[in-house]
């Protein structure tokens, strides 16, 4: 009996250690890009625009903010995109509105010490599965689209980076204003 109980608890501990070790690599996908940072950003942006259903809503470089505070860090560029066909049903429903924190869809492009450029994306399929069927269905579509965003045709010439238009301001309830997004 003690052997069974001990084995059960050791199994739980082993599972927790294993999950903790591999959870981050399951939640975030990292893909090496065949291009440099700026070209990778531009190609992803153009792939997003070419889908016809997604809008570019932001392009941020948080590294610039960090450098303005005196630290020396490499670039990490964030491309933000939104597909209102996906976000609208989730934001309309009280039960799924909490996933709005994952909107807009953000793709990170960065270089590592080895000089290579990498792309970081949320594992949309896995994240959706964790939130239930409604979110799971939407996120499986997002996962499919993300694959298109990262599908590069090296025979095409490098496009220019697209600077997103400034968000329209909308009046907030307390006299403040909130920019657009997703």
The pLDDT tens digits for 83-101 are 999 999 999 999 999 989 8
Alpha carbon distance 167, 133 (integer Å): 32
In this structure, whether the domain defined by 27-151 belongs to CATH 3.40.50.620 is answered with: no
What pairs with residue 78 in β-bridges? 60, 108
Q: Where are the domains of the chain?
A: 27-151
Question: Which of 59, 66, 63, 65 is CA-nearest to residue 76?
Answer: 63
CA distance 156 to 16: 46
What proportion of the chain, given as a percentage, has pLDDT over 70? 80
pTM over 0.85: no
């Amino acid at each position: 009996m003690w052997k069974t109980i001990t084995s059960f608890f050791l199994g739980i501990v082993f599972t927790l250690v294993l999950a903790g070790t591999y959870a981050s690599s399951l939640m975030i996908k990292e893909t090496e890009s065949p291009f440099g940072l700026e070209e990778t950003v531009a190609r992803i942006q153009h792939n997003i625009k070419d889908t016809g259903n997604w809008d570019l809503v932001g392009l941020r470089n948080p590294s610039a903010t960090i450098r303005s505070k005196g630290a020396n860090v490499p670039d990490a560029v964030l491309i933000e995109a939104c597909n209102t066909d996906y976000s609208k049903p989730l934001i309309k429903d009280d039960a799924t509105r909490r996933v709005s924190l994952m909107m807009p869809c953000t793709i990170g492009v960065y270089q590592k010490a080895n000089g290579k450029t990498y792309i970081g994306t949320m594992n949309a399929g896995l994240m959706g599965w964790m939130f239930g069927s409604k979110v799971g269905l939407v996120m499986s579509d997002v996962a499919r689209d993300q694959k298109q965003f990262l599908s590069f045709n090296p025979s095409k010439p490098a496009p220019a980076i697209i600077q997103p238009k400034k968000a329209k301001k909308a009046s907030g309830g307390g006299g403040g204003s909130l920019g657009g997004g997703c």
